[in-house]
Structure 1
Amino acid sequence: MLFHIHHCRGIGLKGTKRLFEALPALPTLFELSPSVIQKITRQTSANLQLFYKDLHSFPTDRYLKLYEENDIQWITIMDPDYPHSLKHVYDPPFLLFLKGDKSLLQAQKKLAIIGSRDATSYTINILHSMIPTLVAKHIVIVSGLAKGADTVAHKEAISAGGKTIGVIASGFDHIYPRENENLAGEMMENHLLLTEYPPYVKPERWHFPLRNRIISGLSEAVLITEARKKSGTFITADYALSEGRDVLCIPGAVGDPLAEGTNSLIQQGAKMVLSIEDIFSELGV
């Protein structure tokens, strides 16, 4: 039933959450009148009309078959293999689409690595040095397939023979950025790519901050390399802190715009990383 609701337009994450909380038996939703559904979900009339139409017409069986034919797996928040740590974040995704090695979700140690899309040689050199040692300890690297630090993290994990998980802000048919389509293909074959959006959904600006809660929610800790003071990286750090995750930061030069974010987080209490041992101590390795 969650699969069906997830594909309906006009409902959104908040509306789905309200339905989930109000209806212990979701199949009874089909029996409800539009006015009752609107009262539960607090949708606008336009969105309610869209949702009610899709609720009673979306071809679920056809999409289930289509996903199976294209090796797209999916899990809901009610499934036993849904990541326990993700279940307890603020507004957890009710459904995840997966391509690749689903078993990576159950890896004991997962470290999110994020940073600036304008990552410099400083980030590249540090990750090139650290990631082989991390994956040698069977730590799975989680990131967002974005330009810059994310791309470096995924590629270094792969080249070092480790495993990596990519969390994207679109459906599988619309990999973003397009320059990472080959990297995404490699990850869908031998690692794991996941998203809360159906394959046909294009990336929207507001998807990216939401995506960050999944990155931090999957991981035991979040390592930040370079970041401006006001950036999407800060959103992920906020999610991590609110979820009780450790936030680790690589310090940078005073006055460097790409170090302002990390240095500020350290000043606020984030763990300063000066060596690989600092990461191991936080992960209990």
Structure 2
Amino acid sequence: MDDRYCWAALQIALNLGTRSLLRLYRHFPTGKAVLEASAEELKRVPRLTLQAYEHVIEGRGAVNPEKTAEDLQARGVQVTLLGEPSYPHALAQIADPPVILYTRGRLPEQKLPLIAIVGSRRATPYGKAVAHKLSRELVQLGWGVVSGMARGIDTAAHEGALAAGGYTLAVFGCGIDVCYPRENSKLMKRIEEKGCLLSEFPPDTGPHAKNFPIRNRVISGCSMGILVVEAGERSGALITAHNALEQDREVFAIPGPVTSEYSRGANNLIKQGAKLVEDAADIIEEFPYLNWVPSPQTPPKKRLEPSLTLEESCVLQKLSLEPVHIDQLAEKTGLSVSVVGGILTLLEFRGLAKQLPGDYFINPEAVLDQKR
């Protein structure tokens, strides 16, 4: 029996935690050896808890690698074991790597540089626009984007990578067959087709709160650096940033308004030494040694610059990634609200404006420093 499924069967049948599984993996040469070990041999496993020891002793008779393999294969779930050539090298180097990766899609090429983009679930329109734009720019420069498929910044980061035809890796805090949040079901399918869904938790594992801090070390562990776009003072993104520091990864942050609760975490990271980021160049210049050459891709069609009237240009100049109300646009341009509304409709059609709730508008194509 393939040793991958022995370890998977042990984890699933005995409900072993990630640390207990790693301790067994580092002590025994194979999963089969765990199943055949004596009680004395199991007691000699360094730092194995009494609870984990009892789970193995009492439950290993029910472990069935053949049935586990059949079930996982029927679900289309790939299993990758720590130490295999396809296991992400960067992740294998952290102090506590997952023994097993359950995936759908394709794991990243080993030479592909990955950057994690994370932030608040309750992101502002500005934060989501920035995450989408930077993700898109980074994949165009040959990077892959890692995130957690949560609402807000994570979703925007994945969508930006996909919009540019690039690679994105979604790291789950539940089983990869569990869509969380549910509204990301379409995004989940797109990531599976173009990138990879990954979890250290077996299929059917629910989105329990305790799993997400555990998951965050994998997001940073897979990556060469982490970019925090928006984060409150107690955001899970800060846990990921802390993991990145422990793993000797680069930490980047997007500055935000001092009055915004969603920017306090990112601003504090900058105070503590994280690099302030305004564009993709601020990130890639920290990795001058990279010699990654991206796989040939069909270049995106170049957008033709539209011909704008003087009034249209006037309105467009007042739009940035910072939301602005239609009344403010009318005041700033000296045009009536009805005229500005008509112009915004035309700009939306051309992809140069996007309406947000409450009659606010942004220019999703604006450069980042236009907001300041």
Aligned with residue 268 of structure 1, among 266, 272, 279:
272
Structure 1 residue 35: Cα displacement: 6.0
Q: State the partner residue of 1:59.
A: 64
CA contact (8 A) 2:14 2:59 kept: yes
1:161 partnered with 2:175? no
Paired with 2:111 and 2:193, the residues of 1 have a C-alpha distance of: 18
Structure 1 residue 210: Cα displacement: 0.7
Q: 1:111 to 1:172 in 2, by over 3 A?
A: same
Return the TM-score normalized by structure 2. Answer: 0.71
CA contact (8 A) 1:254 1:260 kept: yes
Structure 1 residue 96: Cα displacement: 0.1
CA contact (8 A) 1:10 1:51 kept: no
Q: State the partner residue of 2:10.
A: 5
1:253 partnered with 2:260? no
Paired with 2:188 and 2:237, the residues of 1 have a C-alpha distance of: 21
Aligned with residue 90 of structure 2, among 56, 60, 85:
85
Give the alignment's Cα RMSD to 1 decimal: 1.9
SS of the aligned residue for 1:97 comes to: strand
Paired with 2:213 and 2:109, the residues of 1 have a C-alpha distance of: 21
Q: State the partner residue of 2:49.
A: 42
Aligned with residue 73 of structure 1, among 75, 78, 82:
78
SS of the aligned residue for 1:128 comes to: helix
Amino acid aligned to 2:49: R
Q: 1:207 to 1:264 in 2, by over 3 A?
A: same
1:20 partnered with 2:25? yes
SS of the aligned residue for 1:174 comes to: coil
123-132 vs 163-172, which moves further = 123-132
Q: State the partner residue of 1:116.
A: 120
Paired with 1:252 and 1:95, the residues of 2 have a C-alpha distance of: 38
Structure 1 residue 147: Cα displacement: 0.7
Any stretches of 5+ residues in structure 2 without a counterpart?
A: 1-5, 291-372
1:182 partnered with 2:186? yes
Amino acid aligned to 2:118: I
| Cα displacement string for residues 179-232 of structure 1 (whole angstroms, at most 9, x for unaligned residues) | 112211121122210001111211211100011111001111101101011221
Paired with 1:129 and 1:81, the residues of 2 have a C-alpha distance of: 30
Paired with 1:26 and 1:61, the residues of 2 have a C-alpha distance of: 13
Paired with 1:247 and 1:257, the residues of 2 have a C-alpha distance of: 20
Within 5 Å, give how 1:137-176 maps onto structure 2: 137-176=141-180
Amino acid aligned to 2:50: Q
Q: How many pairs does the alignment contain?
A: 282
Paired with 2:41 and 2:136, the residues of 1 have a C-alpha distance of: 55
Amino acid aligned to 1:229: E
122-131 vs 70-79, which moves further = 122-131
Structure 1 residue 122: Cα displacement: 1.5
Q: State the partner residue of 1:222.
A: 226
SS of the aligned residue for 1:61 comes to: helix
1:126 partnered with 2:137? no
CA contact (8 A) 1:146 1:177 kept: yes
SS of the aligned residue for 2:127 comes to: helix
Within 5 Å, give how 1:208-247 maps onto structure 2: 208-247=212-251
Paired with 1:195 and 1:217, the residues of 2 have a C-alpha distance of: 13
1:30 partnered with 2:42? no
CA contact (8 A) 2:162 2:194 kept: no
Paired with 1:95 and 1:153, the residues of 2 have a C-alpha distance of: 25
